[in-house]
Amino acid sequence: MEIRCVVAIVRSDVLEALERRLGAIHVHGVTVSKVKGFGKHPNLFLNDWTTEHIKIEIFTQEPNVDALIREITAIAHTGADGVIAVLPVEKFLRISTSSEAAP
């Protein structure tokens, strides 16, 4: 079965609701990072064009990707920009056993 990495950049104020929703649909592994950046419409009137966002990375089986995108979009849709990217995963290994595993 193919593994994908779903990466979402969202506003930080949706993180708590998104974590609750992902737990409710039995997503068992999520990586959350604070990030800064700017997208299509940076605020050029500020000294620092970047804004703080949250990056969420989730490894999942390919058949789960569309449902996961729908859940993230439903919670994180605030009218502000954000992005979701789906990346192929060549290998997925558990460090403790050095063996390939399912997410």
Tell me the pTM: 0.86
Domain that holds residue 82: 3-100
Question: What's the pLDDT tens digit per position in 46-89?
Answer: 777 788 899 999 999 999 999 999 999 999 887 667 899 999 99
What does the pLDDT read at residue 5? Answer: 97
The helices-and-strands tally (H runs, E runs) of the chain is 2, 6
For residues 25, 74, 16, 58, the Cα torsion angle rounded to the nearest 10 degrees is 60
Within the chain, what is the greatest distance between any pair of CA atoms?
51
Question: What's the pLDDT tens digit per position in 1-30?
Answer: 799 999 999 999 999 999 999 988 888 889
For residue 94, give the CATH number of its domain.
3.30.70.120
Total structural domains within the chain: 1
